[in-house]
Structure 1
Amino acid sequence: MITQILLLALGLVLLITGANGLVDGASALAKKFNVSDLAIGLTIVAFGTSAPELVVNVFASYQGHQDIVFGNVIGSNNFNLFIILGITGLITPIVVQSSTIWKEIPISFLGIVLVYLLTHHFLGSDSNTLTRVDGFLLLLLFGLFLYYVYKQLKSDPVEIEVKVNNYSNLKIWCYVIFGLAGLVIGGRLLVTTAVDLATTFGMSEKLIGLTIVAAGTSLPELATSVVAALKKNSDIAVGNIIGSNIFNLFFILATSAVIKPIAYDTVFDLDMYILAGGTLLVFIAMFTGKKKKLDRWEAAILLIGYLGYMAYIIQK
């Protein structure tokens, strides 16, 4: 048991270290080709913070661990929304732009509703399965979201500062190669060990996916948002969280379904309701009041709500 826990921790370390290495190397490489900080921030860095979820889900999907696939995505989104946004909001009240309230948060909510409909016979499916066709549909919508982001930047450009080191070509490729290796090895190790732990403790793969795997793969988002909050950069703090949730639903879950159709267990329904309710709560909190912001007391409610939710599903 101790060995399994140590291997799980090693998998998480390799996963996070690999993502950081890949981001550093790819950012330095892009800078050598005169790619702007804005483009680096919206592509390489954004992908890097979601790379752990993607790698874990690719392995879990290929190996047929459907509960870890859904548990990781739903659990990560709940962790992002309740824990990361809650901690960030406690550090500093989060003031957001109107586009976040009226566009990004509704898009995130739309993703939740769409995934629910696709897995509950509402859109022509004859089983609770996210099929390859469903996956391609979600990928198409993700492409439209990227186009929306591109148009938004064209009409209202905002520069994102990205720290890029001036590495030699050899060092850049070492970072990229070892970063990818860390992601692959760490992701495989994390999935395998999580399944072993679930068997050892008599826990379900669903619970492992919703808790340990989801929290572990969300660490890059947590670090990014906390640093942004400390620097009083609310746009990046909340944009990272909402953007990650959209990325998880429309790209990572879609990619998993394209690799292999994923059977959906209706025991995840409660977790989907919690995610939908939390998204609506954040929308209402930011919509009401004189300023479009999430106050500290509202952030505290998110944290307390998540702890109660976790206590309930663990007891259940």
Structure 2
Amino acid sequence: MLNIIFLVVGLVLILYGANWLTDGASAVAKHFHISDLVIGLTIVAFGTSMPEFVVSTLSSMNGSADLAIGNVVGSNIFNILMIVGCTAIAYPIKVEKSTLTKQIPLVILSSFAVIVCANDIFLDGGANNMIGRADGILLLCFFAIFLGYTFAIAHSEENGEDVKVKELPMWKSILFILLGLFGLIFGGDLFVDGASGVARSLGVSESIIGLTLVAGGTSLPELATSIVAAMKHNSGIAIGNVIGSNLFNIFFVLGTSATIIPLSIGNITNVDLLMLLFASILFWFVGWFFKKRTITRYEGILLVTCYVGYIAYLIAQQ
């Protein structure tokens, strides 16, 4: 019972902390005359991925590699199949051509990169599968390239969606940042302890908890953001939020975690990694075909059904 309380309290602190940190950092950036669009594509997009960053980083530092990797892989699968699926069911999503030709292929590339990094035994004949420091640094290099690309499209004439930022006094912005950091760090510590405790008490591996419970919990900010954006007919924000989060999770979150402490793949299997790649390709497929450049309600149901099937597979394997 105590572990469940830790889990719930930690998740609440993480979600509020991410929100406070995002609002505070956005207001400070606005104070220094950084454009709304750049703030939206960087601080706001990455702010919704802070729960994954905190949980995976703390998990790797605590020696829970299964939880760290499972959180990233599970969150990305959840983002595509559940968030895009539920968002499309709530309101069909129009997808820009540049998103299908440039941005979603980056998501597919990131999924493929994880498979390559995590298959030392198959590719190199290694003793075990690890995402080592070299892999982590490589992923961080990919993140730097993605960040440069993000700033480039921020000034492109193709992208005209601004994200309006709440303006706050400087003292309140700093207070929000401090409260956000406290919520993320303290909440993340509670959440990791609670998730590990729940896994032990149920006799379930940390990898399964990371792929399901932790992944779904840390992805709540993206779910709320995308559904609200779609209902307001801001399809670019709804899709961009998922794409930005997935790339941030693999390139930065996993890259940082592996750079701090090399991560053993443990109970994360190629089935999980291939499911991530399949979900990424399906994301591109449903946007491009059927009703061209629109993810319809039927396609949303298909995505959600795939996720339910994947969870059923994980449960059956226990």
Q: Normalized against structure 1, the TM-score is what?
A: 0.95
Q: Is the 8 A contact 1:74 1:275 kept in 2?
A: yes
- The letter of the residue matching 2:80 is L
1:36-73 C-alpha deviation (Å, 9 max, x unpaired):
11121112111210101001111001111010011100
Q: Secondary structure at the match of 1:117?
A: helix
Map of 2:199 onto structure 1 = 198
Question: Partners of 2:302 and 2:161 in 1: how far apart?
Answer: 30
Task: Work out whether 1:46 is the aligned partner of 2:45.
Answer: yes
Does the C-alpha gap of structure 1 residues 3 and 147 become closer, same or farther in structure 2, counting only changes over 3 Å? same
Map of 1:65 onto structure 2 = 64
Map of 2:98 onto structure 1 = 99
1:246-298 C-alpha deviation (Å, 9 max, x unpaired):
11111110000000000113642111111111211121221224631111101
Gaps of 5+ in 2: none
Q: Secondary structure at the match of 2:49?
A: helix
Return the offset for 1:155. Answer: 3.0
Question: Partners of 1:244 and 1:98 in 2: how far apart?
Answer: 20
Does the C-alpha gap of structure 1 residues 225 and 163 become closer, same or farther in structure 2, counting only changes over 3 Å? same
Output the aligned Cα RMSD. 1.6
Return the offset for 1:217. Answer: 0.6
Q: Is the 8 A contact 2:5 2:194 kept in 1?
A: no
Question: Partners of 1:306 and 1:162 in 2: how far apart?
Answer: 30
Map of 1:252 onto structure 2 = 253
Map of 2:218 onto structure 1 = 217
Map of 2:269 onto structure 1 = 268
- The letter of the residue matching 1:278 is A
Does the C-alpha gap of structure 1 residues 134 and 240 become closer, same or farther in structure 2, counting only changes over 3 Å? same
Gaps of 5+ in 1: none
Map of 1:140 onto structure 2 = 141
1:217-268 C-alpha deviation (Å, 9 max, x unpaired):
1011011101110111111101111221111111110000000000113642
Q: Is the 8 A contact 1:119 1:125 kept in 2?
A: no
- The letter of the residue matching 2:154 is L
Map of 1:231 onto structure 2 = 232
Q: Is the 8 A contact 1:105 1:279 kept in 2?
A: yes
Q: Secondary structure at the match of 2:37?
A: helix
Return the offset for 1:156. Answer: 2.5
What are the residue-to-residue correspondences of 1:6-155 with 2, within 5 Å? 6-121=5-120, 124=124, 126=126, 127-155=128-156
Return the offset for 1:308. Answer: 1.8
Question: Partners of 1:153 and 1:284 in 2: how far apart?
Answer: 26
Question: Partners of 2:160 and 2:136 in 1: how far apart?
Answer: 33
Return the offset for 1:168. Answer: 2.6
Map of 2:171 onto structure 1 = 170
Return the offset for 1:159. Answer: 4.1
- The letter of the residue matching 1:55 is V
Q: Secondary structure at the match of 2:155?
A: helix
Of 113-122 and 192-201, deviating more is: 113-122
- The letter of the residue matching 2:297 is R
Return the offset for 1:164. Answer: 3.2
Question: Partners of 1:171 and 1:241 in 2: how far apart?
Answer: 29
Q: Is the 8 A contact 2:15 2:221 kept in 1?
A: yes
1:163-185 C-alpha deviation (Å, 9 max, x unpaired):
43343332222111011000000
1:134-162 C-alpha deviation (Å, 9 max, x unpaired):
11111111111222222223333534443
Of 142-151 and 234-243, deviating more is: 142-151
Return the offset for 1:304. Answer: 1.3
What are the residue-to-residue correspondences of 1:153-164 with 2, within 5 Å? 153-156=154-157, 158-164=159-165
Could you list the structure 1 runs, at least 4 aligned residues long, displaced by more than 4 angstroms after superposition.
122-125
Aligned length: 315
Question: Partners of 2:96 and 2:258 in 1: how far apart?
Answer: 33
Q: Normalized against structure 2, the TM-score is what?
A: 0.94
Question: Partners of 1:236 and 1:271 in 2: how far apart?
Answer: 27
